[in-house]
Structure 1
Amino acid sequence: MFKPRYNPAMRPDRFRLAALFHPQKDVTYEQFSRYWLREHGKLFMSLDIVKKNLTKYEQLHLNPQLNTQLSTAMNSAQMPFWGMAIFEAESYDKIIEVLSHPDYIRVVFPDEAKILDRSKSQVIAGEFATIHGT
């Protein structure tokens, strides 16, 4: 019987950073999701440094009902985050160059404050391996 070889490896050509966003206290989920997708995403993508350095930018908009069901089914705490941004680049340095660029600090950083609370948000970074799929 043929058994496929399982040989996972980290991708040396890609690096990801994920930011889990906690909403501002006076923002509804609908306001958060709509603004982040339609306004903030467009603003972020308008920066030349973003287009130059990132190979991918994705937004995950959490579904409150599904997350309630999931936390119940998994007997786990419900996450306080309403969104996750995933930044992908060829290196960690390229992502940091975006996040520390004067245009990002001047334009994007203040726009985030309209919908999210940075003090309650979290960021993780690392290499990744694709175990299944492309």
Structure 2
Amino acid sequence: MTRQKFVKITLFCHKRADISDEEFHRYWAVEHPKEVKKCRPFMDRVWRYNQYHITPEMRKEAATIGGSTVLDYDGGAEFWVKDIEDWKAMIAAEGGLLTLVEDEAKFVQHPLDIMYGYEELIVGEEIPFNTKHRNQ
């Protein structure tokens, strides 16, 4: 087992009630990343950003597995940061999280639910932490 070098912040969301599932997933996957990539405080501090899209059909399929409760979210966003201080700095920075929250309001119902923790690598390869060759 190997504790990974990054910590993760995961935000779980519900779509706005007044938009379709298709529009929610399209906007989040296509339009929102354009705003994210323009947000310098975000791009300077977040090393990886993954979107976890969950459709109503997938929730129904998950319910057939049994033995667990299916979480009722439309999606989750996973952010890898060096530490919680980088996340807080991004939130506090001018042009930081506030600009992204304004865009989120177009497709996400607030408030969001959050998890914060670290990974213990059990299977697979470690992702190297190399600050000289960061891909954006």
* Same-fold status (TM-score > 0.5): yes
Q: 1:133 aligns with which of 120, 124, 130?
A: 124
Q: Are residue 49 (structure 1) and residue 41 (structure 2) matched?
A: yes
Distance 1:53 1:44 in 2: 12
Amino acid at match of 1:129: E
Contact 2:12 2:114 in 1 (8 A): yes
How many aligned residue pairs are there? Answer: 125
Deviation per residue, 1:40-97 (Å, 9 max, x gap) = 1110121111221111111111132122111122254432211111100111111222
Q: Are residue 26 (structure 1) and residue 13 (structure 2) matched?
A: no
Give me the identity figure in percent.
21
3-state DSSP of counterpart to 1:10: strand
Q: Are residue 66 (structure 1) and residue 31 (structure 2) matched?
A: no
Q: Which runs of 4+ in 1 moved over 4 A?
A: none
Distance 1:111 1:129 in 2: 33
3-state DSSP of counterpart to 2:78: strand
TM normalised by structure 2 equals: 0.82
Q: Which has more radius of gyration?
A: 1
2:134: which partner in 1?
Answer: none
Distance 2:71 2:91 in 1: 25
Contact 2:11 2:78 in 1 (8 A): yes
Contact 1:17 1:123 in 2 (8 A): yes
Deviation at 1:39, TM superposition (A): 0.9
Which has a greater percent of strand?
A: 2
Mean Cα deviation higher: 89-98 or 67-76: 67-76
User: Residues 32 and 54 from structure 1, CA distance in 2 versus in 1: closer, same or farther, beyond 3 angstroms?
Assistant: same
Q: Which consecutive unaligned segments of at least 5 residues does structure 1 have?
A: 1-7
Q: Which consecutive unaligned segments of at least 5 residues does structure 2 have?
A: 126-136
CA RMSD of aligned residues (A): 1.6
Amino acid at match of 1:127: Y
Q: 1:14 aligns with which of 3, 6, 20?
A: 6
